[in-house]
Structure 1
Amino acid sequence: MYRTMIIRTAQDSDLDDVLSVEHAAFGSMVEPNLVRDLLEDASAKPTLSLLAFQEGQAVGHILFTRAYFALESPLSISLLAPLAVLPQAQRQGIGTRLVEHGLQILSKSGTDLVFVLGHPEYYPRHGFRPAGVLGFDAPYPIPEKNANAWMVLLIREGITGAFGGKVICANKLKKPKYWLE
């Protein structure tokens, strides 16, 4: 049975729904606390926070935050973290729709690249490729066994020239524990 899904920008009044989805999806308070911190972190702005609803219930959330290169670059980049879907709503395409919707919005807003530290089996479905081998270093060293979890997606056509280097993330993400995967 197909259930209608609505995806919209999360508002301040949606914070409880956002945190509830994050907690249910990850089973701990680490991600909800991180999301709350990122939403309040000026260095993460502009953020793109999207909520997915089915039958009026929040079932998924995705957050994109500002990032930049350590060396000056004209490119606009974002970091996807985290993506959360309620356990009972997983494997229904909600995460895919959230990722695709977010990437469309970012592309239209002029974002060039999106980075993610995530499951190497999932994100390549959306066009993400290992970032380290392309010359993009994560904010913190990633264990070799998880190197393919650091990925990038070029979302704006026509970018030319050599670019790469170390990605700098929002202040609240500047903790090695978030970069272990």
Structure 2
Amino acid sequence: MREVKIRPESPNDILTIQTVNTAAFGQPNEAQLVNKLRENATHFIPELSLVALMNNEIVGHILLTTNKIVDATGNEVESLSLAPMAVAPFLQKKGIGSQLVQHAIEKAKQLGYHSIIVLGHEKYYPKFGFKPASTFGIKAPFEVPDDVFMALELTTDALKNVAGMVHYPHEFMEV
């Protein structure tokens, strides 16, 4: 396997990121989501839109944006949403996605974030420390199996006293 480099996206990467997301998911919804989230200055964090490169070609992308976990009394705690994460189909299952996830987790920690929420494969994300969000009393705003809606604490006990419903940026509901 050739060396993979990971860096934040640049404006010149946008079309290639669209292409990678569309190819990885077999349809354009995730690419459209990335484009819409990029335009939302409240939730988009440029340092957490990362690309994976092999031979200076973008072969993967991961995006973390902010969300809120809101409890029954309206108290809010900021968290991150991991979505989407895409790798070019011909390079899937070669560790590029894992490198993107690990790099994104480390970068989120460096930037001072405390937790990440993901709706993803129940056998993939636990290897990075994700647990069912219900373990923390955190719920999705839509029907979803418990084992695919997960949370990760980036700092010790970050979700210990946090419970409630995840409020995603409105762009998630538009695609």
TM-score, normalised with respect to structure 1? 0.88
Structure 1: which 4+ aligned runs deviate by more than 6 Å? none
Question: Aligned pairs, how many?
Answer: 171
Which residue does 1:19 correspond to in 2? 18
* Match runs of 1:13-162 below 5 Å: 13-47=12-46, 48-70=48-70, 71-73=74-76, 75-138=77-140, 140-143=141-144, 146-157=145-156, 159=158, 161-162=160-161
Cα distance change of structure 1 residues 161 and 152 upon mapping to structure 2, 3 Å threshold: closer
| Equivalent AA in structure 1 for residue 133 of structure 2 | A
Secondary structure of residue in 1 paired with 2:45? coil
Q: What value does the CA root-mean-square deviation take over the aligned residues? A: 1.7
Q: Is the 8 A contact 1:61 1:85 kept in 2?
A: yes
| Alignment partners' CA distance in 1, 2:107 and 2:160 | 24
| Alignment partners' CA distance in 1, 2:103 and 2:127 | 14
Q: Is the 8 A contact 1:7 1:98 kept in 2?
A: yes
| Equivalent AA in structure 1 for residue 75 of structure 2 | E
Cα displacement (A) at 1:160: 7.4
| Alignment partners' CA distance in 1, 2:163 and 2:106 | 23
Decide which structure has greater strand share. 2
| Alignment partners' CA distance in 2, 1:21 and 1:45 | 19
| Equivalent AA in structure 2 for residue 127 of structure 1 | G
TM-score, normalised with respect to structure 2? 0.90
| Alignment partners' CA distance in 1, 2:64 and 2:159 | 24
Q: Which runs of 5+ in 2 are unaligned?
A: none
| Alignment partners' CA distance in 1, 2:68 and 2:161 | 16
Q: Deviations over 1:112-163 (max 9, x none)?
A: 110000110100011100002420011x2224xx221100000113547521
